């Protein structure tokens, strides 16, 4: 019996080695972490799961402008839609997801900054957003930060967006909630007067069916956020491929369709500089 057990163990070890050799060698499953720009089994892409109009997961369905742009870019890299594995990419985890090869690309309202470029590379930008205000559709009294004196303004706890406005307009009554969804509900009910964050995020909420015709983006941005595609630092070949795909999307009208389909219901129009000129991999 001892020799039989030894033989079985040896056979199992050989089988394990065979399976390992046939599988991924990127340490994370699939082909997303390797170079595979087309021809791989799958590609893992990070998005937000909780931003209507941008990156939203409902059951097994993924929707939003970031999702549509990511799907297009993946297609240009040689991956079909069913080869994309969507990975949740919360803001605080994005750099780690890239560095540890848990994702190949990130499309998640990922603003390009010098600080972030120390850890990751960016392709793009594919969109220029800006901080703005969301108000009720029948409220014409709020036209920008200068008109917020004495008004109640909502943003999420610890948001730099809210702090920026409070510094500029000391007379604003800042109310911080845990999520943007709570702020939007309070705005609709009249409990607050305005909500502030990136205009794309605001438009995404305003475009939701339950708020149709009730909310509007003021359209007076007072910052610039250059959304880029995050990828492994130093991967210049992939960076250029992604940038080329973004340019193609601008040229064939698919980018504008993605914006209109996801944010247009809120009457949102992209601000100055859109579509941008990708320059991160020039």
Give the CATH number, domain containing residue 173.
3.40.190.10
Q: Is residue 169 part of a domain?
A: yes
Rounded to 5 degrees, what are φ and ψ at 192? -130, 170
Domains contained in the chain, number: 2
DSSP secondary structure letter of residue 171: T
Domain annotation covers residue 33: no
Same domain for 250 and 111?
A: yes
Asked if residue 30 belongs to a domain, the reply is: no
Asked whether residue 64 falls in the same domain as residue 122, the answer is yes
Residue 51 and residue 121 in one domain: yes
For residues 99 and 156, state if they share a domain: no
Distance linking the first and last C-alpha atoms of the chain? 67
At residue 266, the pLDDT reads: 84
Same domain? For 189 and 241 the reply is no
The answer to whether residues 183 and 253 belong to one domain is no
Q: What is the pLDDT of residue 28?
A: 36
Q: Containing domain of residue 182, as a range? A: 131-217
Encode the chain (282 residues) as per-residue pLDDT tens digits.
Answer: 433 333 434 444 433 333 333 333 333 334 444 344 555 699 999 999 989 999 999 999 999 999 999 999 999 999 999 999 999 999 889 999 999 999 999 999 999 999 999 999 999 999 999 999 999 999 999 999 999 999 999 988 767 787 788 888 889 999 989 888 899 999 999 999 999 999 999 999 999 989 988 999 999 998 889 999 999 999 999 999 999 999 999 999 999 999 999 998 888 889 889 999 998 885
In this predicted model, what pLDDT tens digit does every residue of 93-134 receive, in sequence order? Answer: 999 999 999 999 999 999 999 999 999 999 999 999 999 999
Burial of 13 per CB tally in 10 Å (0-12, 13-18, 19+) = exposed
Report the pLDDT value the prediction gives residue 282, as an integer from 0 to 100: 57
Q: Within a domain: residue 14?
A: no
Residue 17: predicted pLDDT = 35
Verify that 69 and 121 share a domain, yes or no: yes
**Same domain membership, residue 136 and residue 124:** no
At 7 the pLDDT is 42
Q: Which residues have a Cβ under 8 Å from the Cβ of 190 and sit 6 or more positions away?
A: 136
**Residue 246 domain-assigned (yes or no):** yes
In a domain, residue 147? The reply is yes
Q: Report the C-alpha gap between 170 and 151 in whole angstroms.
A: 11
pTM: 0.78
The whole-number pLDDT of residue 168 equals 85
**Is-contact 123 278, C-beta < 8 A?**
yes
Q: Are residue 198 and residue 176 in the same domain, yes or no?
A: yes
Does one domain contain both 246 and 172? no
Kindly state whether residue 35 falls inside one of the protein's structural domains. no
**Both 67 and 207 in a single domain?**
no
Residues 138 and 187 in one domain: yes
């Amino acid at each position: 019996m001892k020799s039989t057990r030894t033989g079985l163990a040896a056979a199992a070890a050989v089988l394990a080695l065979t399976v390992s050799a046939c599988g991924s060698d990127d340490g994370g499953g699939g082909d997303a972490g390797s170079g595979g720009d087309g021809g791989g089994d799958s590609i893992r892409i990070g998005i937000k799961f909780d931003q209507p109009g941008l990156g939203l997961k409902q059951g097994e369905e993924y929707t939003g402008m970031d999702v549509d742009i990511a799907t297009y870019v993946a297609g240009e890299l040689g991956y079909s839609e069913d080869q994309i594995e969507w990975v949740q990419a919360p803001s605080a985890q994005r750099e780690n997801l890239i560095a540890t090869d848990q994702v190949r690309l990130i499309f998640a309202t990922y603003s390009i900054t010098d600080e972030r470029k120390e850890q990751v590379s960016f392709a793009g930008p594919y969109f220029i957003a800006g901080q703005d205000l969301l108000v009720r559709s029948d409220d014409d009294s709020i036209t920008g930060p200068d008109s917020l004196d004495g008004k109640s303004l909502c943003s999420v706890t610890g948001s730099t967006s809210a702090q920026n406005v409070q510094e500029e307009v000391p007379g604003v009554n800042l109310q911080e909630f845990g999520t943007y969804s709570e702020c939007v509900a309070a705005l609709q009910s009249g409990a607050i007067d305005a909500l502030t964050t990136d205009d794309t995020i605001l438009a995404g909420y305003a475009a939701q069916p339950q708020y149709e015709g009730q909310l509007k983006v003021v359209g007076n941005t007072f910052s610039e956020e250059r959304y880029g595609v995050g990828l492994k630092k130093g991967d210049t070949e992939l960076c250029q491929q992604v940038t080329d795909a973004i340019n193609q999307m601008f040229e064939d009208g698919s980018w504008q369709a993605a914006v209109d389909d996801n944010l247009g219901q809120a009457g949102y129009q992209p601000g100055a500089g859109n579509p941008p000129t990708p320059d991160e991999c020039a």
